[in-house]
Amino acid sequence: MSSSQGPALSTNVARLADGSTSQKEVPFVVNLPLYVKELIAGGAAGAIAKTSVAPLERIKILVQTRTAGFHSLGVYQSLRRLLNHEGVRGFYKGNGASVLRIVPYAALHYMTYEQYRCWILNNYSALGTGSLVDLLAGSAAGGTAVLCTYPLDLARTKLAYQVVDRRCSLGNGIKNIHGPPTYSGIHNVLKSVYKQGGARALYRGVGPTLVGILPYAGLKFYIYEELKSHVPDEHQTSIPMRLSCGAMAGLFGQTLTYPLDVVRRQMQVEHLQPSSHSVRYRNTMDGLTTIVRNQGWRQLFAGLSINYFKIVPSVAIGFTAYDTMKAWLHIPPRQKSKVPAA
């Protein structure tokens, strides 16, 4: 790293970017296994990023699932309506389940990506060391993380789907303006779902989730690494560069796989919808065709604009937090630690 004199802030940012902070700052983590450090860094970054965009995530779910009173509103009007009904706390309903899910999800996603990538490089050298390896490793890591954390994602969606009018709290209680059962928390959701349909019910909608996450996770890493490969060496450790490449990768990946996310959300909440609107999808393809036939093809992209609004800050915060944690935990830059091993 360059040792030229400059502002202290610039020096610190550069050190965080390339992981060259002094080991005296965190002596207790020096001897941790690399995969444990990757788990900690990924989990922390995921929690910070997810909480920062929780209000937009809540609105996106309400739009995707055609919640009464929200499906025809814009972002600003939806946020305002939600604030009137549930107050500021309503912006973060389901965020506890979301963070509880994203910590192990992000931790597993980053760690298994690194492990899968290293394994591919060591065992399938014919694939080279380019972006194809990132595509395969990213897809495998995404599938692994989803299978391990899906019930928590289901709980998050069911909690976020509920819209409770707290303006009625001046009386003896609050009013659920939808009519379906009101879940009191993550444990209550998981217990109720398991009681109704067993373990299989906890994975309702996992099909379209896997179909969507495999290409999305792979494309995200593929596009990110491909964009970075065109950046001059002197800018490889630049945080703005990483954030820009990551945001572009997320935007492209989300656009291509977003319809599958809409099917997943509708499958997750179909038991909560009024019987007159309830439609059971047999599988992912049936969900796609039924939505197009009954709701129009535009519904496959419902909430996508909100996703654009949230994904840029989410990726930016996530990458910054992950890079900071990597530096704090003394995780070597992946390009230096993995590629030579091939």
Report which of residues 31 and 104 the model is more confident about: 104
pLDDT digits (tens, 9 = 90+) for 32-79: 888 888 899 899 989 988 888 888 878 777 776 766 666 556 667 777
Q: Which of 19-28, 59-68, 292-301 has the highest mean pLDDT?
A: 292-301
Q: How far apart are CA 53 and CA 310, in angstroms?
A: 6
342: pLDDT strictly greater than 60: no
The encoded tokens of residue 211 equal 């179909």
The pLDDT-based confidence of 248 (bands split at 50, 70, 90) is confident
| Amino acid 140: pLDDT | 93
> Residue 238 carries which side chain, given as an amino acid letter?
S
The encoded tokens of residue 254 equal 């989300």
Mean pLDDT of the residues in the chain: 75
Q: How far apart are CA 184 and CA 164, in angstroms?
A: 12
Q: How far apart are CA 76 and CA 20, in angstroms?
A: 43
| Backbone phi, psi, residue 325, to 5° | -65, -40
Q: How does 308-329 read in b/e, with b if 16+ C-beta sit within 10 Å?
A: eebbbebbbbbbbbbbbbbbbb
Q: Considering the domain 31-337 in this protein, what is its CATH number? A: 1.50.40.10
Locate all alpha helices (DSSP H) within the chain, ordered by sequence.
8-18, 34-52, 54-64, 75-86, 95-123, 131-161, 186-201, 206-228, 239-269, 284-295, 304-328, 334-337
* Inter-residue contact 57 to 98 (CB < 8 Å): yes
pLDDT digits (tens, 9 = 90+) for 263-277: 877 777 766 655 545
The pLDDT-based confidence of 2 (bands split at 50, 70, 90) is very low
| Amino acid 85: pLDDT | 78
249: pLDDT strictly greater than 60: yes
pLDDT digits (tens, 9 = 90+) for 167-196: 554 444 555 544 455 777 788 888 888 888
pLDDT digits (tens, 9 = 90+) for 252-264: 887 888 888 888 7
8: pLDDT strictly greater than 60: no
> DSSP labels for 205-263?
THHHHHHHHHHHHHHHHHHHHHHHTTS-GGGTT-HHHHHHHHHHHHHHHHHHHHHHHHH
**3-state SS class at 186:** helix
In this prediction the pTM is: 0.66
Q: What residues does each domain of the chain span?
A: 31-337
The encoded tokens of residue 260 equal 């599958």
